Amino acid sequence: MTQSLLKIIDPHLHLFNLQQGDYQWLKPQNPPFWPDKKRINRNFIEKDLCLPVPIHLAGFVHVEAGFDNQQPWREIDWLQQHCTLPFKSVAFADLTTHVFEEHLRQLQQRSTVVGIRHILDEQAQAILSSHLIDRHFALLADTNFSFDAQLSLSDTPALDLLVAVANRHKSLRIIINHAGWPPSDTDKRAQEKWLTGLQKLAQCENIAMKLSGWEMSNRAWQPEQVAKLLRHCLSFFGDERIMLASNFPLCTFSMPYADLWNSYVTLPEISPQSLEKMAFNNAKTWYQF
């Protein structure tokens, strides 16, 4: 029996142009100090996104990769000039500075931009406590841009600030990156905090989860670990606020792009109907394709 075509939208990937962009984080003298970082310190373009039949890449969301944080629209201009697949862009914009509004105006002029990301991580509490936060999230909501939030769900003070922001700006779509950095199975305390964080976020209907980035904490991750995390996410969020994503090219630290997507689509936990939502429909809706 022939397999039917499975369309996906990859909602979290990065393309690199080392000749035009800065990418300070890719340089060997800068963090993160991964021993294998040089493997991704090269150009990646759209044609590197190869998938096996019957999986068909119908579109993607490009998330800012540190191309030029002073003029973030330069990354978008390069992408719009060279990409041929349907795609949307999540650009960088600094939430803590007064140039945010001007940068937002510049980004609004680029047709693919649908949101911004300012990586929170260790600075999450400080950034989300900024006196400019409410003004800037209101601007995002007014321009119909989403916010990609990258932080650990185990960071309870920061998470509570994010939930408060989500409740104050209910029309703003907030999308959690990399499953909110789920902790290892051995760290039970952090796991409890992560699950509590997941539950708090799920109560905000304007928040969705992107599942990706497994290789960042464990190069040898296994599909069973993802299946377990997916079950937790489904129990709180349901299948309409979860997106499966790659984090390409960083996913290649663990396996080729095609193998990653094959591991997702063969997870026994996912029904064909849920897979269609989490691999295609939800990204189409949340990122305004």
Tell me the three state secondary structure of residue 281.
helix
Q: Is the pLDDT of residue 10 over 80?
A: yes
Supply the DSSP symbol for 20: T
pLDDT digits (tens, 9 = 90+) for 234-278: 999 999 999 999 999 999 999 999 999 999 999 988 999 999 999
Say which CATH class 6-286 falls into. alpha beta
The closest of 98, 103, 165 to 138, measured between CA atoms, is 165
Give me the mean pLDDT over the 148-166 stretch. 98
pLDDT over threshold 80, residue 1 = no
Predicted model pTM: 0.97
**pLDDT, mean of residues 103-114:** 98
Q: Tell me the pLDDT band of 30, cut-offs 50, 70 and 90.
A: very high
Token pair of 156 as six digits: 């309870």
Could you give the residue ranges of the DSSP H alpha helices within the chain? 73-82, 100-108, 124-128, 133-142, 156-168, 188-202, 214-217, 223-237, 257-265, 272-276, 282-286
Mean pLDDT (whole number) for 107-130: 98
When pLDDT is cut at 50, 70 and 90, the band that residue 186 belongs to is confident
Say if residues 113 and 137 touch (Cβ distance below 8 Å).
no
pLDDT band at 104 (very low <50, low <70, confident <90, very high): very high
Q: Quick one: pLDDT at residue 3?
A: 63
The answer to whether the beta carbons of residues 204 and 172 sit under 8 Å apart is no
Cβ contact 21:72 at 8 Å: no
Residues in the chain: 289
Question: Residue 28, exposed/middle/buried by CB under 10 A (0-12, 13-18, 19+)?
Answer: exposed
Average pLDDT, the chain: 96
Q: Mean pLDDT throughout 77-106?
A: 98
pLDDT(117) > 90? yes
Domain boundaries, the chain: 6-286
Q: Residue 155 has what pLDDT? A: 97
What pLDDT does residue 2 have? Answer: 53
| Confidence at residue 184, expressed as pLDDT on a 0 to 100 scale | 87
